[in-house]
Amino acid sequence: MKRMKMFFRFDKEEKWLEEMAAKGWLLCGKGLFYDFQRCTPDRCTIRADYREFRRKEDFWEYVALFEDSGWKHLAGSKGSGNQYFLKLRDSCTEDIFSDERSRAGRYKRVANAWLCAAIALLPLMVVYYGPGSGQRYWNPAEWYLTPGLWELEGASFWWAFLFETPFALGRGVGWLFPLAPFLVYLGYALKAWHLYRDAVKGRNT
């Protein structure tokens, strides 16, 4: 089963995953969607972390460290960021983090990831919004490319104008293409940073 859901706070995500397991659906993968497989309904403890690795060896060492401590790796990969663990033994601690600061650190890593995604768009924005782009984007007449359109009259003008208008609108709002994701990524980074600051102060986890 696949479910699409978005969380900013790890504690709420963990609670939801535990509720799904109690209903008989255990997390087995995470990409754009949460992937679940059938399991025996049971109360369990699931914890989430956020880490990316450059080398596979580092990733598998990370997984092995938790599994040696009684936590099974449910989902996540070397470059996915999101990592999920299931508590296997009652003797294990209730958390995969040793203190509030290390628990809060995952929000800082999320903030850095979103900030890097925003920064990666900057070269495209420089090209897209370079010299001479302002007149093109803010002058609707520049959106129309039909030669001699504005010299036409009567039915010929209206036919050519109405025919090209949908394409012109596409060109006109095209300036939002790099700006919109940049602002979204930056907003996510700021949200994660605020959650990090709150988590350090013990306001959320």
Q: What is the pLDDT along the chain (205 residues), one digit of tens a residue?
A: 999 999 999 999 999 999 999 999 999 999 999 999 999 998 999 999 999 999 999 999 999 999 999 999 999 999 999 999 999 988 788 899 988 889 999 999 999 999 999 999 888 877 766 665 555 566 677 777 778 877 777 788 888 888 888 877 776 666 667 788 999 999 999 999 999 999 888 766 6
CA distances from 128 to 133, 142, 168 (A): 7, 16, 17
25 bridge partner residues: 38
Q: What is the pLDDT of residue 205?
A: 63
Contact 88, 159 (CB under 8 A): no
Contact 198, 205 (CB under 8 A): no
Q: What is the pLDDT of residue 148?
A: 80
In the chain, where are the structural domains located? 1-96, 98-205
Q: What is the pLDDT of residue 174?
A: 67
Hunting for tokens 């919004």 — which residue is that? 129
Hunting for tokens 């095209």 — which residue is that? 174
Q: Name the amino acid, one letter, at 93.
A: T
Q: What is the pLDDT of residue 142?
A: 72
Contact 105, 91 (CB under 8 A): no
73 bridge partner residues: 85
Q: What is the pLDDT of residue 204?
A: 66
Rounded CA-CA distance 15/42 in Å is 14
Look at the chain and count its residues.
Answer: 205
Rounded CA-CA distance 85/74 in Å is 5
Q: What is the pLDDT of residue 125?
A: 77
Rounded CA-CA distance 51/35 in Å is 19
Q: What is the pLDDT of residue 175?
A: 65
Tokens of 122: 């900057």
Supply the pTM of this predicted model: 0.78
